[in-house]
């Protein structure tokens, strides 16, 4: 794993940070834009996070831990992808930042670090683009 490989993506959302926050922490809303994934967490620092669902006919279950929370501003968690050995060096760190961008607008930034290689980093960036497009639609509705 290369801790230095980091991808960043962002989107401007025409909704207040509080509404974007709800979209990134509410299980029902997450499922709408995160590939149909069931996400479970209470989003408190130190709490577990699990992702589960089915992708291309295969069940998956992934896990992590909430690392940092600043309501309406920042959410950070660790993430272990399916099939990887459960050892610390295999966890990615994902950080969501919400920046107010004028009245009723939010600039949303996601970063993910610790990829196996550049191909994994590039693949993740493509997935995040789809997720952010969906997040924008959910938060703006």
pLDDT in tens, 46-82: 999 999 998 888 899 999 999 999 999 999 999 998 8
pTM of the full structure:
0.92
Would you give per-residue pLDDT tens digits along the chain (141 residues)? 556 789 999 999 999 999 999 999 999 999 999 999 999 999 999 999 999 998 888 899 999 999 999 999 999 999 998 888 999 989 999 999 999 988 899 999 999 999 988 998 999 999 999 999 999 999 999
The token duo for 123 is 């693949």
Check residue 33 and give its pLDDT: 96
Which CATH superfamily, name and number, covers 2-140?
A: START domain (3.30.530.20)
């Amino acid at each position: 794993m290369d801790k230095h490989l980091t991808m960043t993506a962002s989107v401007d959302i025409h909704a207040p940070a509080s509404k974007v926050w709800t979209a990134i922490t509410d299980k029902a809303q997450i499922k709408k834009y995160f590939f149909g994934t069931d996400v479970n967490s209470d989003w408190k620092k130190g709490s577990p996070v699990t992702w589960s669902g089915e992708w291309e006919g295969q069940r998956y279950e992934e896990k992590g831990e909430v690392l940092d929370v600043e309501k309406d501003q920042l959410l950070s968690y660790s993430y272990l992808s399916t099939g990887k050995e459960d050892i610390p060096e295999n966890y990615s760190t994902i950080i969501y930042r919400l920046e107010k961008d004028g009245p009723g607008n939010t600039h949303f930034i996601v970063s993910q670090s610790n990829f196996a290689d550049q191909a994994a980093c590039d693949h993740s960036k493509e997935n995040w683009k789809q997720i952010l497009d969906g997040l924008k639609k959910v938060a703006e509705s």
